[in-house]
Structure 1
Amino acid sequence: MKAAAIAQAIRRGQRRAIDVTEEALADIAARDGRFNAFTEVTAARARAEALAVDQTIAAGRDPGPLAGVPYAVKNLFDLEGIATLAGSKIERDAKPAARDGFLVRKMAAAGAVCTGALNMDEYAYGFTTENAHEGACRNPHDVTRIAGGSSGGSAAAVAAGLVPITLGSDTNGSIRVPSSLCGIFGLKPTYGRLSRAGSYPFVASLDHLGPFAGDLTDLALAYDVLQGFDPEDPAQTRQPLEPVTPRLSAGIEGLRFAVADGHFARNGHAEAFAAVEAIARVAGATRRLVVPDAARGRAAAFLITMAEGGNLHMADLRTRAQDFDPGTRDRFLAGAMLPAHWITQAQRLRADYRASVLKLFAETDILIAPATPFAATPIGQANIELEGELVPIRPNLGIFTQPISCIGLPVLAVPLADPTVAGTPNGLPIGVQLIAAPWREDVLFRAAAALERAGVVSAPPVRA
């Protein structure tokens, strides 16, 4: 189910949006019990939006580039009339959102049809979507395994074919980690590119919003319609609209690729590095560049995340501590007690680290790095061996994404078309990060499209 094909058929009058919507709703009802991707299905809203698309077409007006395309959002996006849960129990007592978030309004203006809200780690603080309140989100490729997080429901819904596009958030890797584990495409845009207004925050200085899709063209369509300046997000930078869909056929001639070395060449299983090498071969990347101080950048991200998150939830930590997921609560409490000078130093290091990494783009246009250190692990498994040491899974799933998030670079997570080439367990999916300089999402889409045409990048079919 590709968004581009659905929209084309509806725009041409070959299908009705209401029929596509009814099929999507029925499919979600029939199959999502297996994946636990949705926390709420907005059936009445979806039908109303679909009928509006059909009426627009009947009136001879343009219904938008995503006419009638079903989509869903991580449940930290505001949906009018629904409490924004952010994966929590506490927010169930919140007032319903007064209006849709900015990106939801952009999707609606493009003709897309919102089918519901999706499972996530509590307050976006996790990489596995083993939610204590809603239950674990299950990976469509093997429902005994995690979907990744914190946007696990967003990735699982796409991988399962329930909807072709979803929206999620990425603070430390929460788009790229589930994209890798579920075998789909995910975009973390440049920090400040897309508005975050109308979403529940986690770490304001690190939060990004972005789309997921099972098809690169669909991801490009979604990203194009999401762009636009919003004065309600003080972190957003006013940039011209830069659609990437017209650039998908541009090819990679003239683009310079390099494999990220150092921190990104250790602390993972063999399949993570084999996936990088498979893509690097096709891209013609023969050069390796050490990303300086990546481990220290990741450490800074940890401290900033803990401190800002703990500060945000201080009132509830004092009065409703028992209503948090215990794992989330304890990390927030620890963050709330960090010394101020640690955070000041972390921000200084972050600035220096960013300046060092930006210098690499004088030598390359795209860095290729692992997205996750290993493929999806069993639900409930707490630890895994890395570099001969038993380490906790949850924080270490972000070992390759956190050093990039904290400096705001754009990243496109791409799935290896044939995971068996990388030797993943039971052929489970695994992805790779394509990383570019700020505001160069265009080169990421050019590169990914060329890799897709070469057959090395695409969403592997779900066989489970």
Structure 2
Amino acid sequence: MDLTRTTATGLLAQLKAGSVTSEEVVSGYLGRAKELERLNVFVHLDPEKILDQARAIDTKRKAGAPLGPLAGVPVAIKDVLCVENELTTCGSKMLAKFKPPYDATVITKLRDAGAILFGKTNMDEFAMGSSTENSAYGPTRNPWDEERIPGGSSGGSAAAVAADLAPLSLGSDTGGSIRQPAAVCGIVGLKPTYGRVSRYGLIAFASSLDQIGPFTHDLADAALLLQVISGRDPRDATSVDQPIPDYVGTLDTPPKSLRIGLVREFFGEGLDPEVETSIREAIRVYEQAGATIKEVSLPHSKYGVPAYYLVAPAECSSNLARYDSTIYGHRAEDFKPKYPGEDKIHPLILMMMASRAEGFGAEVKRRIMLGTFALSAGYADQYYNQALKVRRLIRNDFDAAFNEVDVLIGPTSPTPAFKFGERTADPLAMYLSDIYTITANLAGIPGLSIPCGLTKGGLPIGLQILAPAFAEENLLRTARVFERATDWHLRRPNSVDGTHGTHGS
């Protein structure tokens, strides 16, 4: 049996039974990573360090020592999460040599759980993008069609799971950066409630929107990984002291009620017909399971994209101001005056200007400039503060909807994966890739994407389910109803598997 085709839950059962060792498991994944280097999933991968972790777990298991819930299972890590003394570059030339002196809280939790930290995955630079085309390391390829994008910004983490390069991975979601890649890569992606998972050690893009979450093949694995990484952290003032439900133990208990809201605004102009067909079919699956389907409205969702692209760039402008190349970050070698008047600028300022110009890519520069403008004197009230008011209205819409239904459903992405270069010249078209996911970040609520179909061309389609704040348990259980009734979560891409066949756990 090919261990790399097994879910984390399946691997854990074999590891506990003693039929395989962690070293055998990670050796299989390392071999597969070598075989599929062309996908450009990993930007930093240290085989010896990975094997050392696996051997340490095997030694503990053999000695009968207590082991954590992920003991011996590889987890790929988005290159935005700090791992002590290991390159953490955010897909950017600016941080090409950065090795953090500490672990992110989620990394500490993974270590405590016995997980094997399995390399750093590619991403849009500083998590800004929807296609992983903005990486300083070049684009990651979608395992379903290598001429297409894997989504973004967590495209490497999504492709890692989709191509069976790791059974689990972590990403971050600021406006859809877990859910959209999960949808176009045909896997499960979960964005927890803002405050459910500590952001300590997550290199910030937009601090009031960022959240860390899992990529997996199925909901059992998603529940397991969410269980491990959730919880209050005194080092993150925004993490919330809420009880952590038994996501794993309650997953197969159907919700007491299945009142599902169909969001009217998610079925308008720009929605691909094949995506809509799959979503409508998913609705029928829920109806057959006894769900009550009710159309609901989120009237202010149409303002989600413009509000987001004021709030997020404003926070980006503030957060990325720290990369001035004086303490750390890329430093230009040549910053002598080049243009008229520059000889009057202090050399330190010239160095910062040249270093930031070289260190940041085009999309990051675009968002820094947008955010700086939105926060500038005379414009903050007109733009940024107005966007915050719209954000409140969007949250009010969700609160009103959840008074009528338990969850909301709709498409995750308006289209399947698009081809490389198709939207790079049109930033607005790229931004609209996240039109259905952005509002959940603005409202701070949890959401997940699960596979629900394939286009005629064999590209995955994702179903998005949204729930009230801290209702991840019900979100997972509701999604599980669909997963039990279908086999979309068992499909694997033919570009790396030779068939659209299915694989069990």
Q: What TM-score, normalized to structure 1?
A: 0.93
Q: Residue 422 of structure 2 corresponds to which residue in structure 1?
A: 381
Tell me whether 1:353 sits opposite 2:394 in the alignment. Answer: yes
How far the C-alpha of 1:298 sits from its partner, in A, is 3.1
Tell me the amino acid that sits aligned with residue 64 of structure 2. Answer: G
Tell me whether 1:147 sits opposite 2:188 in the alignment. Answer: no
Report SS of the residue matched to 1:186: strand
Tell me whether 1:291 sits opposite 2:298 in the alignment. Answer: yes
Alpha-carbon distance in structure 2 between the residues aligned to 1:328 and 1:391:
12
Tell me whether 1:113 sits opposite 2:153 in the alignment. Answer: no
Alpha-carbon distance in structure 1 between the residues aligned to 2:293 and 2:183:
23
Q: Residue 340 of structure 1 corresponds to which residue in structure 2?
A: 380
How far the C-alpha of 1:308 sits from its partner, in A, is 0.9
Query: How much identity, in percent, do the aligned residues show?
Result: 35
Q: Residue 309 of structure 1 corresponds to which residue in structure 2?
A: 316
How far the C-alpha of 1:83 sits from its partner, in A, is 2.9
Of residues 21, 24, 27, the one that matches 2:26 is 21
How far the C-alpha of 1:262 sits from its partner, in A, is 2.1
Alpha-carbon distance in structure 1 between the residues aligned to 2:135 and 2:74:
28
Tell me whether 1:231 sits opposite 2:234 in the alignment. Answer: yes
Q: Residue 406 of structure 1 corresponds to which residue in structure 2?
A: 442
Question: CA offsets, 1:237-289, max 9 Å, x none?
Answer: 11112121112211245221121112544331112222221111111253211
Of residues 476, 491, 495, the one that matches 1:445 is 476
Alpha-carbon distance in structure 2 between the residues aligned to 1:273 and 1:24:
35
Tell me whether 1:259 sits opposite 2:290 in the alignment. Answer: no
Report SS of the residue matched to 1:426: coil
Alpha-carbon distance in structure 2 between the residues aligned to 1:214 and 1:11:
21
Tell me whether 1:8 sits opposite 2:34 in the alignment. Answer: no
Once the two structures are overlaid, the 10-residue window that deviates more, 100-109 or 113-122, is 100-109
How far the C-alpha of 1:457 sits from its partner, in A, is 4.5
Instruction: List gaps (5 residues or longer) in structure 2.
Output: 1-5, 325-351, 496-505
Report SS of the residue matched to 2:147: strand
Residues 132 and 361 (structure 1), Cα distance of their counterparts in 2 relative to 1, 3 Å cut: closer
Tell me whether 1:55 sits opposite 2:62 in the alignment. Answer: no
How far the C-alpha of 1:48 sits from its partner, in A, is 2.1
Matches within 5 A, 1:60-459: 60-94=64-98, 96-284=99-287, 285-314=292-321, 316=324, 318=353, 319-338=355-374, 339-341=379-381, 342-382=383-423, 392-416=428-452, 418-419=453-454, 424-455=455-486, 457-459=488-490
Q: What TM-score, normalized to structure 2?
A: 0.86
Residues 258 and 23 (structure 1), Cα distance of their counterparts in 2 relative to 1, 3 Å cut: same
How far the C-alpha of 1:111 sits from its partner, in A, is 1.4
Residues 289 and 84 (structure 1), Cα distance of their counterparts in 2 relative to 1, 3 Å cut: same
How many matched pairs?
452
Of residues 18, 39, 47, the one that matches 2:43 is 39
- Cα contact 1:451–1:457 (8 A) shared by 2: no
Report SS of the residue matched to 2:208: coil
Residues 440 and 347 (structure 1), Cα distance of their counterparts in 2 relative to 1, 3 Å cut: same
How far the C-alpha of 1:24 sits from its partner, in A, is 1.4
More strand per residue: 1 or 2? 1
Q: Residue 387 of structure 1 corresponds to which residue in structure 2?
A: none
- Cα contact 1:292–1:357 (8 A) shared by 2: no
Question: CA offsets, 1:305-353, max 9 Å, x none?
Answer: 1111122223548442132211321222122111211211211221232
Alpha-carbon distance in structure 1 between the residues aligned to 2:386 and 2:54:
51
Tell me the amino acid that sits aligned with residue 311 of structure 2. Answer: I
How far the C-alpha of 1:18 sits from its partner, in A, is 1.4
Larger radius of gyration: 2
Question: CA offsets, 1:36-62, max 9 Å, x none?
Answer: 110011323322221221122122123
How far the C-alpha of 1:441 sits from its partner, in A, is 0.5
Alpha-carbon distance in structure 1 between the residues aligned to 2:430 and 2:116:
33
Q: Residue 461 of structure 1 corresponds to which residue in structure 2?
A: 492
Instruction: List gaps (5 residues or longer) in structure 1.
Output: 385-389
Tell me the amino acid that sits aligned with residue 372 of structure 2. Answer: A
Once the two structures are overlaid, the 10-residue window that deviates more, 320-329 or 124-133, is 320-329
